[in-house]
Amino acid sequence: MPNLIDGRAIAEKVYVDLRREIAELKAQGITPGLAVVLVGDDPASRAYVRSKDKMCRELGLHSLKLELPASTTQTELLNRVEQLNADASIHGILVQSPPPVHIDEAAIVRALDPRKDVDGFHPENVAKLVLEDATGFVPCTPLGVQRLLIESSVNINGAHVVVLGRSMIVGKPLALLLMQKNAEGNATVTVVHSRSRDLVEITRSADIIIAAIGRAGFVKIDHVRQDAVVIDVGINRVDDAATERGYRLVGDVAFDEVSKKASAITPVPGGVGPMTIAMLMSNTVKAARQSL
């Protein structure tokens, strides 16, 4: 049996450290504050926002949850962002993605104060990631994946990491993060995607495979070499009449077969997901600390 990488347990370790940092900041008169803005009532987005707000309150952070109707205009949303930029009690701002189709999401991201962009998508924070400037904010899921590997004693230094997926949310920032010239990076990173040739041959050469391609069960046993480490970022709904909800959540990795070959693997759910929220809390505390 492979080593199951427990994202919930590792997230709890993160929260132990954060509670200490939060107490130190409060002693200096600073309560880290996070504002989460939800436009519309997409059920999945609403669930994510609820879980973020809940964790803020458990940690003792100042939490502001703004739920705006789907009819909110671009101008109205930009005005809300500007108000939050100017609010000294708010150190982190997250506008839940995806917004309604009439909202220009890129323009909203650019309107954020980069010092409060705890999602790490503002062009200034992307540039800081490229430049290895530690004052910037790294997107939460890539940061969570790196922390999972470190806490699981997976050697990143010199490893060949194959990332499936080239999104700005996961693939691209994760590649940049893991190839950084430091003790928590130094990987040789290959990014593959839907146009990659000889994809199976490439993934079979990996010491670490990170699947973030958005296709249920895409990574099969033939993609993985013996004793590789497999991190599954995917969250996909598949119909399942046997469940009460009529569906179940699965990752981008065919877990049952790949787990027979991997030396360590993350489950879905319970792997990367809890770490994404933990890293959002960590980025918010970092933003508060840097505001001093």
Residue 28 burial (CB count, 10 A):
9
> Are 192 and 162 within 8 A, CB to CB?
yes
Give the C-alpha separation, 113 to 270, whole Å: 32
User: For residue 179, what are the contacts with CB-CB under 8 A and spacing of at least 6?
Assistant: 185, 186, 187, 188, 189
> Are 187 and 163 within 8 A, CB to CB?
no
Which of the residues 96, 117, 180, 286 is marked catalytic? Answer: 96
Angle at which helices 140-151 and 272-290 pack, to 10 degrees?
110
- Among residues 60, 32, 65, the alpha carbon closest in space to that of 48 is found at 65
Give the C-alpha separation, 256 to 270, whole Å: 15
> Are 284 and 91 within 8 A, CB to CB?
yes
Angle at which helices 272-290 and 7-27 pack, to 10 degrees?
20
Which of the residues 52, 116, 172, 286 is marked catalytic? Answer: 52
Does 198 participate in catalysis according to the annotation? no
Q: Which helix (DSSP H) or strand (DSSP E) does residue 192 occupy?
A: strand 188-192
Which of the residues 116, 117, 119, 207 is marked catalytic? Answer: 119
Does 87 participate in catalysis according to the annotation? no
User: For residue 286, what are the contacts with CB-CB under 8 A and spacing of at least 6?
Assistant: 118, 137
Does 41 participate in catalysis according to the annotation? no
Name the residues annotated as catalytic. 52, 96, 119
